Structure 1
């Protein structure tokens, strides 16, 4: 990622941080929406307390659910204001989590490895998603899980205004279909499964008519 593009993306998500949680599936302020995500995450995460890396964690809503379920969560995001909100969110509820400002593709975690790597609605923003997937697999312990919550959006406008200049050149700008993502991930993993999510309006706070899904795989 060029320095110019990195700066533009950081600025975009910093500016979006204040209003980010207004979206039902971002802030999880509605009880039904929060409960719907909690059920899904508990089904996808290990039953026992685990080390989980939430890349592109945003304001930390999913990190908070995982921490509440007893997991040890590390969240990484490029936007400092997103990280500030994530830290405040967990602190306000008495939960424990670690949040780091950094590139979600190459998180600043040193030699640490994780039992689960979670990414939601991030991969469409990456200049080289295939390289990111290869890197993420190396961050998992043997038999670790990869959980990618993605979709092919009807609108690529993610925060109410156009994305950064040059976004039209991103390989998966506007999202990625389950078929395309599975083809990219399958050579890297075992036991790959796709869980359709478009038919559960509680997850999104309303009905959706575009493609949304979770890809679950083991390293």
Structure 2
């Protein structure tokens, strides 16, 4: 799109897909299950998920499916958190999940309000795996 990338996205909610299509009409969005995406294996440079991994019944299996979508050298980028409500995953838990599928995972904590539109008291972070 702006940077020359093709973007495919999916969500289980048809309403969310409609919102995404309105915001980014040049991207391709489909209704689908993030745990078992019906996307082309080996076709993507990046798999990006925001606050999804924590909600899946088998996050290790889902992550393995996401990795299978990547081209050689592709990256997995996960935005996750461990919220004051008790939901979510800690950064350590997410790194363990990623390292069960890939050798490398780095964490960047994201506490700044600029990312969330308000001050946050819970753990929010980015995990990137390039190998």
TM-score where L is the length of structure 1: 0.56
Residue 66 of structure 2 aligns with which residue? 136
Q: Is the 8 A contact 1:100 1:108 kept in 2?
A: no
Residue 84 of structure 1 aligns with which residue? 18
Residue 124 (str. 1) matches residue 37 (str. 2): no
Segments of structure 1 that go 5 or more residues without pairing to the other structure are 1-66, 157-173
Q: Following TM superposition, by how much is the alpha carbon of 1:155 offset from its aligned partner in structure 2, in angstroms?
A: 2.4
Q: Which of the pair is proportionally richer in strand?
A: 2
Q: Select between 81-90 and 109-118 the one with higher mean Cα deviation.
A: 109-118
TM-score where L is the length of structure 2: 0.92
Aligned partner of 1:208 among 115, 120, 130: 120
- Cα RMSD for the two superposed structures: 1.5
Residue 195 of structure 1 aligns with which residue? 108
Which runs of structure 1 show a deviation greater than 3 angstroms over 4 or more consecutive aligned residues? none
Cα distance in structure 1, aligned partners of 2:67 and 2:30: 19
Segments of structure 2 that go 5 or more residues without pairing to the other structure are none
Cα distance in structure 1, aligned partners of 2:79 and 2:9: 16
Q: Select between 75-84 and 185-194 the one with higher mean Cα deviation.
A: 185-194
Q: Following TM superposition, by how much is the alpha carbon of 1:188 offset from its aligned partner in structure 2, in angstroms?
A: 2.1
